[in-house]
Structure 1
């Protein structure tokens, strides 16, 4: 009987082992996770779970009993310290386990503030895992002052929860505008207005100079000299692929663990999937940070371990919930040259990204119909007439059969 080991018990790892059993794999399967709980959903952590609207067990991707029922050995609270590729073993402290196939689903890690500017003070948090959110949750009391560093989706989602709970929220973004790395100015404008309407003070083009406090954070000095009093700080300045284990094993790294179209790494019998990987996409190599990608790529790797020989065809889509707005994103806007706005009633809007007349991506706010039509067009390699898109009264559905 072969032994398949999956390192990383997040969305990708849990999806991989479940898919293996679902397609008839009868081999020995071990799923190893560093956290002391079964695999769980991460997106609700900074929203429903932090708000108290979702309990711990509802976070779990599957009941804990699932793994025993499926004869999957789940080892939580366990750190893999090394991979010995030459002997096909993984080390867990003093223990070693042999593998026939190894899958790395190690995910990503938040970028943290350096200790030199106060990043090690008590009351400074990242939003990445259950322990992070459990630690900061008691701080979310009405009237408290929170500084959020970073105007990406993580920072904006944290700001929306804090504002809804009655905290005084200041958000600083070093770039010229929030969401500058991932969205067009139109989308930035939309969410800036949304947050300011809920009382969030957004400071763009302003960085964090340092945090102040004696052991615990009590204030911040911004790059323009402004001093802000704070009760705690949330850092949302991006994430990086978790590649330390792979790199130490001699696996090729290229903005993540480099895999081929079928999920193989540069070392035989070692595969990788999810946030930690970079993979071929059309005419370039990319890395995606999303739940759908983690599921799709890890399930494909499971099939390929069983001999399917399939190439991964990514279908990028993402979402973000802020206040009563659901943002849905289809496609990748990299290299866009034009943006077409479609304004609906109230908070309904969508922004369509084009490059030389070709549709690349859609940002849809409270507009699931525009999102779904845009997604189907992009996946089919079709474009959309910009004039029809811009006309809020025009039906978009005929674009699918054009």
Structure 2
């Protein structure tokens, strides 16, 4: 093997980049390196149907083993530990070195740790890998009460799955509403009502002080105001951090925290390191539409950015111009969202078309009349139209938005 193209990562961005290289006619040596024991896979099912036991493990893999056997050298269970961009050398944990021609970093993200007493007790879980989903599934099956620390997407999806499995669930959140940081208080309230209607106890504006334990196992959660909630399973879901350590140590430029951090890339997803690209969770990508870099930890970004980086590695200079997109399924609610809002202070109002009460509506986040983002709840096949409104040269009228459905 001589100077291969190398992809570092075990998620969807890595998988799709590898496929795209071959689909686009790349015939050289290709190596895919992942620290996990499996070929790359996608993660949304880990908090939903796979977690509930409704889908088997094969469902999370987007490419079968035969494809890798025929198209790439797959090195599983071998995390990359060192990167020398100038020398174009990648070092693995076993001490082996790969001299590469071009390299893609698709290293994903990791659950953010919560440095509180009791976080290391048995019965306390994180969720990122398929093995962690397996452990959490087994624990929930035998549990009476599940406590979830964190009210973002992972926390709320697991809350829904645990309730669908018949368990008592309490969610601890820092905001006034779940998902408030992403959706704002108006739409956060929609999800709050959804979960309380399904029997979830939501504790809002609540700081968790410690996990209570007996004989080495978690038995409950204590808040900073002294309240205790019994729980035999605790999920810590307080966000994720991009796996940028390899790039940082290699001297590759990072994006400032005010822009979400991550690896700074240009429109082709090229980093400051020679012949090094980045995709997926770690990549902070300049947005043609929003005029700022955006880093999004969602499935669609991995699906889009992995192939884009692969084509760039083959010489394509087209700038990445995808709008962020994500989806969720919780109970009988299905939602799609497209666009970008930096935070609750980034928009003027939310305009709703349809009925929030019946959970069939489209919501638009607007600023100075312009649509920044849109969310469709139990309303399907409208994302292309929402995107057209976001990209429209002139802002639509409020009446047009209210009558969108």
TM range (shorter): over 0.9
Q: What residue is the counterpart of 1:274 in the other structure? A: 280
> Are residues 95 and 354 of structure 1, via their aligned partners in 2, closer, same or farther at CA, if it must alter by over 3 Å?
same
Task: Give SS of 2:141's match.
Answer: coil
Q: Indicate the residue corresponding to 2:203 in structure 1.
A: 203
Structure 1 residues 94, 209: closer, same or farther in 2, change over 3 A? same
Mark the runs of 5 or more structure 2 residues left unpaired by the alignment: 256-260
The residue aligned with 1:28 is 29
Q: Is 1:77 the equivalent of 2:77?
A: yes
- Structure 1 gaps of 5+ residues are 397-402
Distance in 2 between residues matched to 1:95 and 1:63, nearest whole Å = 26
5 Å matches for 1:106-117? 106-114=107-115, 116-117=116-117
Pairwise CA distance, 1:35: 0.8
CA-CA distance at 1:218 after TM superposition: 0.9
In the other structure, the counterpart of 1:219 is 220
- Specify which structure has the bigger relative contact order, considering alpha-carbon pairs within 8 angstroms and separated by 6 or more residues: 2
Task: Report the CA distance between 1:142 and its aligned residue.
Answer: 6.9
Residue range with higher mean Cα deviation, 364-373 or 348-357: 364-373
CA offset at residue 373 of structure 1?
2.1
Task: Provide Cα deviations, 1:340-378, integer angstroms capped at 9, x if missing partner.
Answer: 122337221222111000011112210124544212322
* Residues 1:382 and 1:75: Cα distance change in structure 2 (over 3 Å): farther
Match of 1:352 in 2: 364
1:5–1:30 Cα contact (<8 Å) kept = yes
Q: Which residue of 2 is the match for residue 384 of structure 1?
A: 396
Residues 1:190 and 1:38: Cα distance change in structure 2 (over 3 Å): same
CA contact (8 A) 1:143 1:166 kept: no
2:254 and 2:368 map into 1 onto residues whose CA distance is: 33
TM-fit CA distance, 1:136 = 1.4
Q: Distance in 1 between matches of 2:10 and 2:404?
A: 44
Counterpart for residue 292 of structure 2: 284
CA distance in 1, matches of 2:404, 2:47: 36
| Residue pair 2:370, 2:390 contacting (<8 A) in 1 also | no
| Alignment correspondent of 2:231 | 230
Give the total of aligned pairs. 391
Question: In structure 2, the residue corresponding to 1:49 is in which secondary structure?
Answer: coil
Deviations 1:138-193 (A, max 9, x none): 11237611100111111110000001111010001012221111012221111111
Match of 1:400 in 2: none
Partner of 1:3: 4
- SS at structure 1 position matched to 2:170: strand
Matches within 5 A, 1:1-400: 2-69=3-70, 71-92=71-92, 93-114=94-115, 116-141=116-141, 144-214=144-214, 215-254=216-255, 255-281=261-287, 282-334=290-342, 335-344=346-355, 346-381=358-393, 383-390=395-402, 394=403, 396=405
Residue 258 of structure 2: aligned partner:
none
Q: TM-score of the superposition, structure 2-length normalised?
A: 0.93
Q: Taking structure 1 as reference, are residues 97 and 206 closer, same or farther at Cα in structure 2, changes over 3 Å only?
A: same
Whole-angstrom CA distance in 2 between matches of 1:247 and 1:385: 46
Q: 1:147 touches 1:230 (CA, 8 Å); kept in 2? A: yes
> Matched residues in 2 for 1:227 and 1:381: separation?
53
d(CA) in 1 for partners of 2:138, 2:275: 45
Q: How far off its partner does 1:108 sit?
A: 0.8
Conservation of the 8 A alpha-carbon contact between 1:184 and 1:339: no
- Please list the CA deviations of residues 112-156 of structure 1 after superposition, one character each: whole Å capped at 9, or x if unmatched: 222x42111111111211111111111123761110011111111
Quote the offset at 1:293 in angstroms. Answer: 1.2
* Contact 2:86/2:274 (8 A) holds in 1: no
TM-score normalised per structure 1 = 0.93
Answer whether contact 1:187 1:363 (CA < 8 A) is retained. Answer: no
Quote the Cα distance in structure 2 between the aligned partners of 1:2 and 1:310.
Answer: 25
Q: Is the 8 A contact 1:142 1:167 kept in 2?
A: no
